[in-house]
Homo-oligomer: A and B are copies of this chain.
Amino acid sequence: MITLYGMKASGNCYKLQLLAEQLGLEYRWIEVDILHGESRTPGFLAKNANGRVPLLELEDGRCLPESNAILCYLAEGSRYLPGDGWLRAQTLQWLFFEQYSHEPYIAVARFIAKWLPAGHPRQAELPRLRERGHQALGVMEKHLAANDFFVASGDGVADIALYAYTHEAPVGGFDLAAYPAVRSWLQRIEAQPGFVPQRY
């Protein structure tokens, strides 16, 4: 059986729970409290030198970090990762968009707003994070105004990756009122068989 190391409050980790449940995979979940250094212990660094969760461990001990690489590995051969070259390229496009243009703003704003105490100096970052986060939401809105999902083959790992932090964007101060297509898409994802809400 595979093991997933993660923190349930992290959207990057929740992605894997979402895919595993939708695929009906059996897995063991080991909760890692990154806020208390549990991903920086010598034992954990031996599994992932970059000291981050999530991390996939196979039964034979091989380890794979990076949430979106794990999504692709686990989804291979399923309808969540298309086999067609162009659809697969578009899947990767949105996965890289998520990690570069979306997560560093929307997830970080959520972290600062929810986990740091009022008056923390990092709150000074919020205006810039919100400006960039709204740019990412604008790109999503434009695409979803004309498409049900991110890739024409239907809901897949690109949707799972983008759902993970978009559904919590309001926690970071993003009002989704201006993004009706994004809000409809969130509901479509939540209606998928096997969908599990994020609980932490």
Contacts and interface: CB of A to CB of B under 8 A. Distances in A.
A194 interface: no
A100 interface: yes
A102 to B, nearest CB: 10
A62 B50 contact: no
Given A50-B101, A99-B99, A93 B69 contact: yes
A66 B96 contact: yes
Copies of this polypeptide in the complex: 2
Nearest to A91: B69
A90 interface: yes
Contact of A97 (B66, B92, B143): B66
A194 to B, nearest CB: 22
A73 B96 contact: no
Contacts of A95: 69, 96
Interface in A120-146: 138-139, 142-143
A11 interface: no
Interface residues of A, number: 33
A49 interface: yes
A115 interface: no
A166 to B, nearest CB: 15
Interface in A24-82: 49-50, 52, 62, 64-70, 72-73, 76
Contacts of A101: 50, 52
Interface of A: 49-50, 52, 62, 64-70, 72-73, 76, 85-86, 88-90, 92-93, 95-97, 99-101, 103-104, 138-139, 142-143
23 contacts: A49-B142, A50-B97, A50-B101, A50-B139, A52-B101, A64-B89, A64-B90, A65-B93, A66-B100, A67-B96, A68-B92, A68-B96, A69-B92, A69-B93, A69-B96, A70-B89, A72-B92, A73-B86, A73-B88, A73-B92, A76-B85, A100-B100, A104-B104
